[in-house]
Structure 1
Amino acid sequence: MDHEVALQLSAFNKLYKELDELYHDFAKHCGISDCAFWILYSVQESVEPYTQKDLSEIWSFSRQTVNSALKNLEADDYIELVPLPGNRKNKEIVLTQKGKNYAEEHVMPLMEAEQNAFGKLTDEERSEFLRLTQKHISLLRTETNAILES
């Protein structure tokens, strides 16, 4: 392995873990699990309804993890699960009034901080960051798929 590539990859992985830890600490400060935080975040930011399956796919959490977080959020009266028309199996995740208040107090400040931080990058930097991240994920997916298929 190329030594310079190994050093850069190590630096990238540390930065990724630092970012992950930042979000973990924020969720912990809010008194909820990471998964519960991302559920509230997703429902707060979206105009489209989300189901358990949607959130599992979007955030790469297992269905069991999402199900457990949803049960806790429902028990705490932050969300309600509303059957979708014509499909009683899939349920839309809807914030209750308590959930809306909680999201406004805890989730929105983080969303605003993210937007402020990302907005301090230039248009070109944001585009390049997204382009390179997408490219890296695509290349890594190709490499890992090759390992998994062998």
Structure 2
Amino acid sequence: MFNPTRDEVRNFFIEAWRKYQAREVLTPLETIAADIVAQHPEYHAVVDKPDSVDRDFPPEAGQVNPFLHLSLHLAIEEQLSIDQPPGIRAAFEAACAHRGERHAAMHDALECLGETLFNAQRNGTQPDGVAYVAALRRSAGVGPLA
């Protein structure tokens, strides 16, 4: 299983964004990453600086870690592409219809994924894909699967 370090993830986003801005050839994954960064102009100043790799973003100081946020976006895009966990694609489509805008629905999914990962870490278990999909369905105003 691919398990990049914090620095590798951060460098990936920084390099994908640099290549995107320079109009260089991107890999398919870099294209997705650059598109995600493009949707977040509030993070451009961070991603534009290679020294951001070493920066901390402590939540207790009221900071959002932009690299974590971008990584969660990327994870959800991958999940949607393969419908894993099963039902995530339909739940996300319902969230898009409910919110009327894909990016807003993506942020709903980010919240659900973040909660799922937090619970798994807290409980020392694997992430519960069924609970994750159910949470996204609830956020979309859709009931549980029959």
Q: TM-score range by the shorter chain?
A: under 0.3
Whichever structure has more strand as a proportion of its residues is 1
TM-score (norm 1): 0.24
Structure ID, larger Rg: 1
Could you state the TM-score of these two structures normalised by the residue count of structure 2? 0.25
